[in-house]
């Protein structure tokens, strides 16, 4: 276990020694993710907790197995105010898997750069995939002026009732 995570890891060396790492990555280090976050997020100094290890799977392919935990501050698409979205996700990603292995497996694969994996890019990709497509508060939390109607008590007038009256008078 190490206190500070590195950006780059040599895959085969870490698999050979069953490398296990944990630490925190500041969200400001993940540039592509910044475009999805609310402006207030940069002021908070949030980070993502990362735990991961290098192992081999049943196909004898190196894989990175890990867990991420963080809270992202996104912009609500309804009221445009910041909202916190807690995320806790696990990932299993093969490294440099052959096409035959990819066809037999249900896991994703990434390509290494001359045997090195960029952990920050991997974490950023996983977080981007976990961000909700449309971030919004619950109906009751979003806006005090937003009408929250109870479907059981709301009764609507039939817009065609006037036509029925006209037909009856003819």
pLDDT in tens, 62-78: 999 999 999 999 988 88
More confident residue, 147 or 45: 45
Please say whether the dihedral angle defined by the alpha carbons of residues 115, 121, 123 and 129, taken in this order, is positive or negative. Answer: negative
For the whole model, what pTM was predicted?
A: 0.75
Burial, 144: exposed, middle or buried (Cβ in 10 Å; 0-12, 13-18, 19+)? exposed
Q: What is the pLDDT of residue 50?
A: 93
74 domain residue, yes or no: yes
pLDDT in tens, 76-97: 888 888 888 999 999 998 888 8
Collapsing DSSP states into helix, strand and coil, what is residue 118? strand
Q: In what order do the strands lie in the sheet with 82-95?
A: 20-26, 47-56, 62-75, 82-95, 108-110
3 domain residue, yes or no: no
39 domain residue, yes or no: yes
Contacts with 142 (C-beta within 8 Å, 6 or more apart), sequence order: 76, 78, 79, 81, 136
pLDDT in tens, 1-57: 444 688 888 888 888 888 889 999 988 888 888 888 887 776 777 889 999 999 888
Q: What share of the chain is helix, strand, coil (3-state, %, to 5)?
A: 30, 30, 40
Domain extent at residue 148: 8-169
80 domain residue, yes or no: yes
| Cα 97 from Cα 156, distance rounded (Å) | 59
1 domain residue, yes or no: no
2 domain residue, yes or no: no
24 domain residue, yes or no: yes
Q: How many domains does the chain have?
A: 1
37 domain residue, yes or no: yes
3-state secondary structure 75-105: ECCCCCCEEEEEEEEEEEEEECCCHHHHHHC
Percent of the chain with pLDDT over 70: 87
Mean of the per-residue pLDDT values of the chain: 83
């Amino acid at each position: 276990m190490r206190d500070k995570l590195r950006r780059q890891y040599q895959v085969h060396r870490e698999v050979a020694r069953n490398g296990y790492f944990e630490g925190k990555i500041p969200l400001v280090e993940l540039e592509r993710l910044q475009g999805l976050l609310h402006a207030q997020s940069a002021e908070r100094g949030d980070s993502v907790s990362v735990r991961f290890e290098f192992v081999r799977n049943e196909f004898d392919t190196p894989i990175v197995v890990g867990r991420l935990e963080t809270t992202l501050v996104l912009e609500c698409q309804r009221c445009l105010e910041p909202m916190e979205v807690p995320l806790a996700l696990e990932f299993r990603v093969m490294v440099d898997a052959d096409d035959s292995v990819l066809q037999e497996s249900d896991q994703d694969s990434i390509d290494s750069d001359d045997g090195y994996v960029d952990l920050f890019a991997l974490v950023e990709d996983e977080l981007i995939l976990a961000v909700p497509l449309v971030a919004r508060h619950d109906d009751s939390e979003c806006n005090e002026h937003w009408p929250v109607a109870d479907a059981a008590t709301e009764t609507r007038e039939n817009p065609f009732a006037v036509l029925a009256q006209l037909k009856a008078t003819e």
